[in-house]
């Protein structure tokens, strides 16, 4: 329970508002304008140009040392482009826990934690019922599903995934993207210049959160689809505490992500520097990674273009068998049934999970025990839990220090 603040005198309220306005104006002034000519957005290249870039780059790293040098340069650009090369101090997470709800083989608890002073990341924690010991941890960022009744982590396929992974034996952190669902209702904006930086930082703090809860530091995974796939490979690229990554329907040689939260900062291009999302995904090597691709979006060439390039990178790192690709040519963009059927065995293998809790012996999905909850049921700040009085309600109120 959060203590409610007492009413303050009117003149103090006015003074506080004026101070916040001044701070917000100062933050706007301090934000370095993004050089739009250095951004790679959406279908920045043709399919042929993307493939040619990978072929060219492959010739520049033919041994482990050359790839590690390239990987370090890519990682530096991601951090510099987002401004996280000067990472803010990690404040206490000050997690706020809602009531734990018991379902068939798993529990759900709505949680918010403070990723930066006053910045509360909203989400839900799924855990296996009655589990003991140090559990594997799985972060689950979501993509750009925003239609009413079909939003982000509240979607039916998302809830089935979180609950199934928990029933398999994992601690699962499913969290809202900046400016989506509960964070949007609080006041956060998704299409904001700092969205990529904020989301990546929230994911990094999500790893801190799972570890603080006692997750096994050797078994931390991340998986999401679409924009959540972007967040998955970006997190694995900059945070080596992530031991397993599963970016779904997102890794492409020619498509760079169409939202500011994926390509609105200078992470792909700089003076005398260029990369793409395939190389960024390759920063996970030699840690296990599964690419899930389909015929109905920009991942349609994964078996012939992106996956072989990642196999090359993994071979240089001495772990060719740690990267896999499941391609579903008849499928469209999403994280629906066939994708989940592909992902569960990979996570079970690398995290030591009980696959029988998610798949039948014949390989079909075993998700009938999952209870789908309404979106409002998965909100943290509802009922008896109030939004903290020190909470920031918009991106412009963030102080990065």
Inter-helix orientation angle 64-82/306-316, to 10°: 120
Q: Residues 6 or more apart from 176 whose CB is under 8 A from it?
A: 121, 122, 123, 142, 152, 153, 182, 183
- pTM for the structure as a whole: 0.91
The per-residue pLDDT string of the chain (401 residues; one tens digit each, 9 = 90 and over) reads: 333 333 333 333 333 333 333 333 334 435 667 888 899 999 999 999 999 999 999 999 999 999 999 999 999 999 999 999 999 999 999 999 999 999 999 999 999 999 999 999 999 999 999 988 899 999 999 999 988 889 999 999 999 999 999 999 999 999 999 999 999 999 999 999 999 999 999 999 999 999 999 999 999 999 999 999 999 999 999 999 999 999 999 999 999 999 999 999 999 999 999 999 999 999 999 999 999 999 999 999 999 999 999 999 999 999 999 999 999 999 999 999 999 999 999 999 999 999 999 999 999 999 999 999 999 999 999 988 999 999 999 999 999 98
Domains and CATH numbers, the chain: 96-378 (3.40.50.1820)
Q: How many residues does the chain have?
A: 401
Report the alpha-carbon distance of residue 106 to residue 108 in Å, rounded. Answer: 7
Report the alpha-carbon distance of residue 236 to residue 231 in Å, rounded. Answer: 9
């Amino acid at each position: 329970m959060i203590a409610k603040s007492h009413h303050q005198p009117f003149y103090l309220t006015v003074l506080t508002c004026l101070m916040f306005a001044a701070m917000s104006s100062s933050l706007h002034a301090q934000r370095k304008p993004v050089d739009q000519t250095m951004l790679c957005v959406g279908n920045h290249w043709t399919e042929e140009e993307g493939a040619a870039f990978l072929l060219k780059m492959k010739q520049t790293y033919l041994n482990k040392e050359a790839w590690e040098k390239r990987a370090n340069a890519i990682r530096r650009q991601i951090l510099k482009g987002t401004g996280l090369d000067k990472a803010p101090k990690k404040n206490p997470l000050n997690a706020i826990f809602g009531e734990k709800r018991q379902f068939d083989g798993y529990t759900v608890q709505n949680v918010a934690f403070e990723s930066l002073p006053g910045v509360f990341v909203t989400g839900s924690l799924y855990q296996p019922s009655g589990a003991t010991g140090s559990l594997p941890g799985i972060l689950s960022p979501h993509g750009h599903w925003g239609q009413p009744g079909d939003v982000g982590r509240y979607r039916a396929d998302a809830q089935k995934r979180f609950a199934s992974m928990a029933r398999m034996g994992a601690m699962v952190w499913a969290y809202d993207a900046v400016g989506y669902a509960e964070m949007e209702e609080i006041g956060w904006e998704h299409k904001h210049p700092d969205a990529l930086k904020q989301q990546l930082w929230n994911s990094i703090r999500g790893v801190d959160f799972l570890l603080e809860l006692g997750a096994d530091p050797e078994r931390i995974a991340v998986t999401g689809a679409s924009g959540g796939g972007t967040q998955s490979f970006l997190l694995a690229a900059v945070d080596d505490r992530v031991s397993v990554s599963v970016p779904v329907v997102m890794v492409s040689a020619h498509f760079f992500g169409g939202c500011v939260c994926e390509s609105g900062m200078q992470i792909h291009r700089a003076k005398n520097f260029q990369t793409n999302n395939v190389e960024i995904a390759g920063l996970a090597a030699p840690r296990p990674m599964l690419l899930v691709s389909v015929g109905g979006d920009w991942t349609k060439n994964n078996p012939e273009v992106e996956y072989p390039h990642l196999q090359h990178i993994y071979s240089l790192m001495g772990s060719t068998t740690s990267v896999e690709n499941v391609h579903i040519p008849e499928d469209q963009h999403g994280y629906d049934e066939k994708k989940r059927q592909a992902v569960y065995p990979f996570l079970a293998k690398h995290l030591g999970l009980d696959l029988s809790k998610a798949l039948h012996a014949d390989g079909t999905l075993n998700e009938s025990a999952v209870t789908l909850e309404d979106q409002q049921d998965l909100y943290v700040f509802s009922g008896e839990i109030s939004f903290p009085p020190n909470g920031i309600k918009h991106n412009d109120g963030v102080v990065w220090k």
